[in-house]
Amino acid sequence: MPTATFTNFLDRARTLSDLRAASSLLNWDQETYMPDGAAAVRAEQSATLDTLAHQMATSGEYATLLDTVREEAERGELEEWEQGVVKESYREFERSRKLPDEFVREMSRAQSVAHHAWKKGREQQDFSIFAPSLERIVALKRQAAEYYGYAENPYDALIDQYEPGMTAAELRPVFDRLREGTGVLLQKIAGFGAPPDDSVLFTDFDAEQQLAFSKSIIQQLGFDFNIGRVDLSAHPFCTSFGSSDVRLTTRIFRNDLRSCLFGLMHEAGHGMYEQGFAPQLVRTPLAQGASMGIHESQSLLWENMVGRSEEFWAWAFPQLAAAFPEQLAGLDSFGFFRSINVMKPSFIRVEADELTYNMHIILRFQIEDDLMNGRMCVADIPAVWNQKSEEYLGIVPPNDSLGCLQDIHWSFGGFGYFASYTLGKLYAAMFFNRAVEQVPDLREQLARGQFGSLLGWLRENLHQWGKAKNASQLVNDICGRPLTETDFLSHLERKIGRVYAG
């Protein structure tokens, strides 16, 4: 029996959750079906809902109620999941009231200016157009870190937004070892000579058939279309309005088979996580991923650990070949597996392969750490970027648009965000290895197109918890050891052996 105060508090939490779900639906609609001419009014509507949610989540009445349930939690009067709701609500409350209103408005204005400058700078391949507004953003983010507070590194206060509890000091040695390990693997690849031929992926594939095939695959993986759907948008994403309504989007290129297929497996990984939250978490702040990195681990586990594996294609290739018999004539499942795993340094992060991708992240992480600590100034970014790109990837971008201007994140002040992508890769490898240990014939199951055990294992160990456990708790509870890069590196070492020596 929940206490009367908690019931009252849960009511507020649910109202907040519903308001945020409505806001998410406005955003989903904007990216999928909204007519172009509605943009201006939609921006107002979204702002209104977000403002209402913010007011509700920072009101004095809410604060008083939150204090009371926190006391009840301390006195042990609440169940475990109720304690979790209170704890996460308090975390959000604390974070949201630390920034003065005037600062939030100032940040919002600076983001708007920076966004336009970034777009223009990227179009004109000229970092100097973006530099002044980026300086402003960096200054404001350093100020934000002061408002949030931190133990030793202001950057930690920003990382915390995406990875609660994670610090730069914890990431740095992991990233250093990952960089070294990646370098070793890149040299190994270079030693193999000619890479596998992947030209088959870039012929011509009917858009509708690509979509139908990709949807069929994710349905077989376990994405539940009774509580989810797939639409098209310019940039793929996953959003949900309660775990009984999870929406994925994808995009289709006729001359690149990878985009729709792997994009949708990736988003379905996010989606199955959201579909798996325990029922009592729905309409509470616990119905979220534990962290960005943990969320990303789920998309990458399905996209890469499963979807780019030799076992998976042993099962799936005949279906793909039946959908595109002409284009794939003469190819077998092993040949297809090799073609989708070519690894090679390139300029653009979002197009990078499993191996070289992390070099893009580590480079950004180091620059962000230096910027946030005042060890580097904005004007030096292009030179530092190019020098690190040369050192880590062996290539130098010919212009800033293929280098330090490629990503949107800094224009909205998303410092601390990039690290989550690589964390997702490391977590995914750790979780997958642990699943293989506990379900010994897991790889054989994948080769038979049986994904139920893996999904069930993830549901049991990870999905159901939502945000009731944080990332390090999950990793420790599941794997019995803290974050490490070794699982990921040995996964890739094995794969490289198959792909390049094959």
The residues of the shown chain that bind a second copy, judged by CB under 8 A, are 14-15, 18-19, 21-23, 25-26, 29, 33-38, 40-42, 44-45, 48-49, 52, 224-229, 231, 241-242, 244-245, 282-283
Of 267, 274, 354, 485, catalytic: 267
The b/e string for 451-489 (b: 16+ C-beta within 10 A; e otherwise) is beebbebbbebbbbbbbbbbbbebbeebbeeebbbbbbb
Shorter beta-carbon distance to a second copy: residue 181 or 222 = 222
Taking the complex as a whole, how short is the minimal distance between the CB of residue 367 and a second copy, in angstroms? 39
Count CB atoms within 10 A of the CB of residue 418.
24
Taking the complex as a whole, how short is the minimal distance between the CB of residue 47 and a second copy, in angstroms? 8
Angle at 489 between CA 458 and CA 487, to 5 degrees: 35
Taking the complex as a whole, how short is the minimal distance between the CB of residue 103 and a second copy, in angstroms? 22
Count CB atoms within 10 A of the CB of residue 199.
7
- Hey, is 141 helix, strand or coil? helix
Shorter beta-carbon distance to a second copy: residue 7 or 438 = 7
Taking the complex as a whole, how short is the minimal distance between the CB of residue 63 and a second copy, in angstroms? 19
Phi-psi region of 222 (alpha: psi -120 to 50; beta: other; left: phi over 0): left
Shorter beta-carbon distance to a second copy: residue 217 or 230 = 230
Taking the complex as a whole, how short is the minimal distance between the CB of residue 37 and a second copy, in angstroms? 4
Taking the complex as a whole, how short is the minimal distance between the CB of residue 45 and a second copy, in angstroms? 4
Shorter beta-carbon distance to a second copy: residue 29 or 256 = 29
Shorter beta-carbon distance to a second copy: residue 55 or 476 = 55
Instruction: Of 315, 305, 298, 302, give the one whose Cα is nearest residue 494.
Output: 305
Q: Which amino acid is at 291?
A: S
Shorter beta-carbon distance to a second copy: residue 53 or 442 = 53
Q: 497 Cβ partners below 8 Å, 6+ apart?
A: none
Instruction: Of 487, 498, 436, give the one whose Cα is nearest residue 181.
Output: 487
267 counts as catalytic: yes
Is-contact 86 465, C-beta < 8 A?
Answer: no
Q: Which amino acid is at 428?
A: A
Q: 124 Cβ partners below 8 Å, 6+ apart?
A: none
3-class SS letters over 183-208: HHHHHHHHHCCCCCCCHHHHCCCCHH
**Residues designated catalytic:** 267
